[in-house]
Amino acid sequence: MGLLWASLRRDRGGQVLLVLLLAAIILVPLLNLAVPAGAPGHLSAYTVALLGKYLCFALLAVSVDLVWGYCGILTLGHGAFFALGGYAMGMHLMRQIGDRGVYGHPVLPDFMVFLDWESLPWFWHGFDLFPFAMLMVLAAPGLLALVFGFFAFRSRVNGVYLSIITQALTFALMLAFFRNEMGFGGNNGLTDFKDLLGFDLQSEAMRVSLFVASALALALGFLASRYLTVTRFGQVLNAVRDAEGRTRFLGYRVENYQLFVWVFSAMLAGVAGALYVPQVGIINPNEFSPLNSIEMVVWVAVGGRATLYGAALGALLVNYAKTFLTSAAPEAWLFFLGGLFVVVTLFLPQGLVGLLRRSRA
C-alpha cells in the first residue's frame, strides 16, 4: 500500500484524474438532483447518462493501456471482453424484466418466446441472482482471456501476429452472437430493460447512482492498475515490453506475467461493459465489431501510452468529439477519427500527455 501511495505522489496526472473524479462524484448528483430542472447549471438525466458512458469508456481505455502501454500487447480485440461483461449484465437485466415483457412470459425473455423456445437455455440459469451475474461479469471475460492468453502466450505469439488473432477473436465472436441460435438475442441483442435491484433504470436517482458507480469503478480500476505497474511485477512487465527475449533469458516466465495482466485487463474491460449496458439500455453484437476495438486503441494513443490517466483522458476527449461530430457533421466523424490515427502516430507518439510534458520541459 505504501508503494501505491509513494507512486501516486509522483504521478501528477493520476492525482488530477482522481481529484476530478471526486469532484464529479460530488457535483454531478448535486447539479442533477438538487438544482431544479430549467435552472442554470442543471444537468439533465441524459447528460448524466452520457457522462457515465464516457467514464465506462475511460475505464476500458485504462484496461487497454495496461496491456499495451505496460506489456507491449497491442490488443485489437478488447471490445470482446467489454461486450462479454455487458452481455452478463444484460442477461441479469433481462431476467429482472420477469413477466413485464411484451409477451408476458414469466421466465423467458421476449426474443426466446418469439423464437418459440420452450425453456431457458442452461447458460441463462442463475442470472436472475445479482451476485451471480456480477460474478459472471468478471468470470466470462476473465475465462475467455485466460484460455486465449494461455495458448497464445505459451506459444510465444507476439507483435502483429497477436494483434491480428485478437482481431480475429472478436470478429468470430461478433459473427457468433449475430446468430439467433446462440441464445443471446441475435442481431437485436438484449434491450427493453426495466429495473436493476428493484429500482427503475429510467429514474433520475438510478442514473446518478450508475454515474457514481462508474466514477468509483474508474477510480478503483485506475488505482489497482497503477499499483500493478509500480510493483516488482510491473517492473517485469516493462521489461517484457522492452525486451521480451532478454527477460526470458534472465529466468522470468514471461508467459505467466503476460497472462496475469491480460486476464486482469479483460476483467476490467468486463466491468466497464457491465456498467455501460444499464446506462445506454442495450447491448448487441456490434459491440464486438473489430472497428470498436480499434477505436479503443486510438483513445489510448491520443491520450498517451503507458500513463493510465492519459488513456482515460484520451477516451473522454475522443468520445466527446464523437458525440459532438456525429450529430453536428456525421460525414466528418470518420475523417476526424482517421485523421487522429494519422496525426497521433506521426506527430504525437506520446499522445497529449507527451505534448504537455514537452511544453512544460
Partner 1 sequence: MGYKCIRVATAAVLLILLILGPAAAVERPFGEILQALPSASYEAKATLIRELAETGHPRAVPVLRALSEGDLYVRKADQRVFIVRKGEGGYDLVDPLSGEPAGQAGRRDVKRIGINNTLRNVLAAQLASLSLAAPEAAVRRAAVAQMLGELDASLAATLRARLAEEPDRGVRGMIREALALVDLQAADEATRLAAVQTLHGSLTPEARVRLMALAADPEAGEALRTQARQAVASIDRWRSFYRLMETVFFGLSAGSVLLLAAIGLAITFGVMGVINMAHGEFLMLGAYTAYVLQQLLPGQVGLAVVLAVPAAFAVTGLVGVAIERGLIRHLYGRPLETLLLTFGLSLILQQAVRTIFSPLNRSVATPAWMSGAWQINPALALTYNRLAIILFALAVFLALLALLRFTRLGLQVRAVSQDRQMAQALGVRSEWVDALTFGLGAGIAGIGGVALSQLTNVGPNLGQAYIIDSFLVVVFGGVGNLWGTLVAALTLGLANKFLEPAAGAVLAKILVLVFIILFIQRRPRGLFPQRGRAAEA
- The answer to whether 237 contacts partner 1 (rule: CB under 8 A) is no
Please give the residues from 56 up to 95 whose contact with partner 1 meets the rule CB under 8 A.
74
Binding to partner 1 by residue 154, rule CB under 8 A?
Answer: yes
Element (H, E) at 30: none
Nearest to 21 by CA among 305, 304, 220: 220
Residue 306 three-state SS = coil
Among 1, 39, 197, 342, binds partner 1 (CB under 8 A): 342
DSSP label of 252: -
Closest CA to 4 of 231, 295, 236: 231
**C-beta of 108 vs 162, nearer to partner 1:** 162
Residue 202 binds partner 1, judged by CB under 8 A: no
CA distances from 46 to 42, 185, 195, 328 (A): 11, 26, 17, 18
Looking at the DSSP bridge assignments, the partners of residue 200 are 195
For residue 338, the minimal CB distance to partner 1 (Å) is: 3
Listed residue (280, 168, 267, 180) closest to 224, CA to CA = 267
Q: How many residues bind partner 1 (CB under 8 A)?
A: 41
Cβ proximity to partner 1, 118 vs 331, nearer residue = 331
Site track for partner 1 across 10-49, x = CB under 8 A:
----------------------------------------
Placement of cell 426495466 in the chain: 194
Q: Are 32 and 208 in contact (CB under 8 A)?
A: yes
**Cβ atoms of residues 275 and 52 within 8 Å:** yes
- Decide if residue 294 touches partner 1 (CB under 8 A): yes
The DSSP symbol for 72 reads: -
- Which residues are CB-contacts of 183 (< 8 A; sequence separation ≥ 6)? 112, 121, 123, 124
- Asked if 167 is part of the footprint of partner 1 (rule: CB under 8 A), the reply reads yes
Residues in region 320-339 near partner 1 by CB under 8 A: 331, 334-335, 337-339
The three cell numbers of residue 321 are 468529439
Pick one of 298, 313, 352, 353: the residue that binds partner 1 (CB under 8 A).
Answer: 298
* Stretch of residues binding partner 1 (CB under 8 A), selected from 95-103, 206-214, 234-242, 342-350: 342-350
| Residue burial 40-53, b: 16+ Cβ < 10 Å; e: rest | eeebebeebbbbbb
- For partner 1, which is the closer residue by CB, 104 or 349? 349
List 114, 130, 132, 178, residue binding partner 1 (CB under 8 A): 178
Taking the complex as a whole, the smallest distance from the CB of residue 315 to partner 1 amounts, in Å, to: 16
Q: What residue ranges bind partner 1 (CB under 8 A)?
A: 74, 148, 151-152, 154-157, 159-161, 163-165, 167-169, 171-172, 175-176, 178-179, 290, 294, 297-298, 301, 331, 334-335, 337-342, 344-346, 349
